[in-house]
Chains A and B, each alone.
Chain A
Amino acid sequence: MGKEKDILYLKAERHIQVEKEVVKLSDIAKMTCSDSQIVNHLKTITVYKFKKDREKRKVISILKIIECIHEVYPDMTVENLGETDIIMEQIKVAEKKGVIVYGKVVFVSLIAFFGTAFTIMAFHNDIGIQDVFDNMYMLIMGESPGNITIMEVSYSIGLAVGIILFFNHIGGRRITKDPTPIEVEMRTYEGNVNTALVETSNRERKSLDVD
């Protein structure tokens, strides 16, 4: 019953962020094994060290990690249930929540606000909404519309309700528990960025991998 016959299961993350320069195995993957002492030991193993003033992002292959584990436990069977390429990133904590961040938030908010205001107006202009309104009014009421009719009001209400339901929240409160469309899209975007990072790094042979 040698210890090293055990199987180590690990689940590697896709994208990890560390504050320190050393990346420990526990930062990269969750591990489990029938012998908890092995897991505790492995958690403290250093996988990678960020060099000062160098790139703050590195892609590491799971094979390299298995190699690290085998250096300590040569006969260990390792089963990876997670990602095969891991993006390691060193972040500075002090940078968070500065004036710059709020500036960026305001900037993006302004783009979102004015941009969509412009888009909806351009759309109305595009389809000639006033003509549609006038013609529909003639068709249904049999008379020329006045300045502002019930159509404009109900159209605007419909539009507002549609947008609010679509984005699923109003005034900072969610209507249902689902994630909002942009939250979903944000995760998709992050996933795409991570995939691109890994593939670029592999193609440029900058990833940390076994030979």
Chain B
Amino acid sequence: MWIKEIFLMLIFGSFGFIVSAGVFTVLLAVGLIPRFAGKTHTGDHIFLYEEMVVAGSIIGNLWSVFQISIGLGQWFLILFGFFAGIFVGCLALAIAEMLDTIPIFARRIGFRHGLGLVVLSVAFGKLLGSLIYFFYRLASPLQ
């Protein structure tokens, strides 16, 4: 039996190893953390930010794989939801930007003014979409 156990250990160890490389290369290629650091002028603290990325992913992994209950109450949920929301919001737009959707489209239609309005519309669209998604439970299968 031990052979199989060792085999399992080996393949799932490498699975985790490669997943982390893949997932974090994507996160990094999008360049979110440098952008946060650049915007807040806290480039000296990149080390800390990286440690937070490491800690966050390890703990998030433990939560989702082992389904550990931590029982920290509602304030923690609010904290988690708020900051995870910021991150995902930035991620979504950063990916859109990396693919140059906005510049290409703006060029095609000869768009010059009102970029601020477009950005605002995108933000409100996301907010509305997110609320509708959760409110009507769009994730659950249709009846």
Contact = CB atoms under 8 A, between A and B. Distances in A.
Q: A and B: partners?
A: yes
Interface in B38-67: 38, 40-43, 45-66
A121 B80 CA distance: 13
B66 A148 contact: yes
Interface string B84-126: 1011101100000000000000000000000000000000000
A140 B42 contact: no
B8 interface: yes
Contacts of A81: none
Contact of A154 (B8, B32, B33, B43): B8
B46 A180 contact: yes
Contacts of B31: 185, 188-189
Interface in A155-211: 155-164, 166-167, 169-172, 180-183, 185-186, 188-190, 193
A186 B43 contact: yes
A144 B25 CA distance: 34
B53 A112 contact: yes
A108 B57 CA distance: 15
B132 interface: no
Contact of A161 (B17, B34, B49, B63): B17
Contact of A120 (B18, B61, B80): B61
A72 interface: no
Given A113-B52, A116-B53, A180-B50, A158 B8 contact: no
B64 A151 contact: no
Given A109-B52, A113-B83, A156 B65 contact: yes
A151 B11 CA distance: 9
A116 B17 contact: no
Interface residues of A, number: 59
Interface stretch (A45-53, A62-70, A123-131): A123-131
Contacts of A74: none
Nearest to A104: B40
Contacts of A171: 51
B24 A166 contact: yes
Contacts of B86: 111, 115
Nearest to B48: A109
16 contacts: A101-B42, A108-B45, A113-B55, A113-B59, A115-B88, A116-B57, A118-B84, A120-B60, A121-B61, A124-B64, A136-B12, A159-B19, A159-B20, A160-B61, A172-B51, A182-B53
Given A109-B48, A120-B60, 9 more contacts: A113-B53, A120-B61, A121-B64, A158-B16, A164-B54, A166-B21, A169-B51, A180-B47, A186-B38
